[in-house]
Amino acid sequence: MFRCLKILVAFALIAVVLYFGHGFILEKAGRYLYYKDELKPADVIVILAGEETERVEYGVKLFKEGWARKDKIILAGGPIVWKYTWASLMQDQAVYLGVPKNTILLEEKSKSTEEDAVFTKSIMKKFGYKSCVLVTSPYHSRRSIKIFRRIMGDGITIISAPSESWFKFDEWWKRRRDRARVLDEYSKFLWLLIFDLKNDSAVHGKISEGKG
């Protein structure tokens, strides 16, 4: 009887904490998805496909400020429809924003963040690049840096530089679009934990082959 009472009291306390502190807990959960390194010069800037215009805009801004020592940008994003890829459309935007076309390298095979890392690593090895500034959205920044560091290994330095974004961490759970992003990221984080990339032979096979 006394044990049951203790269990009921524990559940009641948890319910009270969740009721009065859910805002604090949810905001912390959202902000966990964000990861930013101190910005430093690297060999190249890598921009991952996604969203509308902000990732390319921010990556181009960093390029123009001189953060890419080798004066190169890698645009990563695979097929969309017919002959179009994310990378090719991102290139059009980057050129429109003033980036010389001959400074852009395209990674047009990837269909996931894991494949972004696999095929980008292949390009970096081909040209001898040892470091990159990684540009993606704030809510995608922690998962992407984890994946890139695991796949690229210790030989390549990766600096996380999330773009400016429409997404806001403050009270994200009150906005449908923001909720969708956070919940989607956590579902993919769970997948990442269950199917650890270190043990994923398919991913390692793509790395060793340098192809899909």
Q: Domain map of the chain by residue range? A: 42-209
- pLDDT confidence of residue 101: 97
CATH of domain 42-209: 3.40.50.620
**Comparison of pLDDT for 199 and 59, the residue scoring more:** 59
Cα(56)–Cα(75) distance, rounded to whole angstroms? 9
At 122-158, the pLDDT tens digits run 999 999 999 999 999 999 999 999 999 999 999 999 9
**Comparison of pLDDT for 139 and 207, the residue scoring more:** 139
- pLDDT of 23 higher than 80: no
Cα(80)–Cα(128) distance, rounded to whole angstroms? 29
The pTM assigned to this predicted structure is 0.84
At 70-125, the pLDDT tens digits run 999 999 999 999 989 999 999 999 999 999 999 999 999 999 999 999 999 999 99
Those residues with Cβ within 8 angstroms of residue 98's Cβ, 6 or more apart along the chain or in another chain: 60, 64
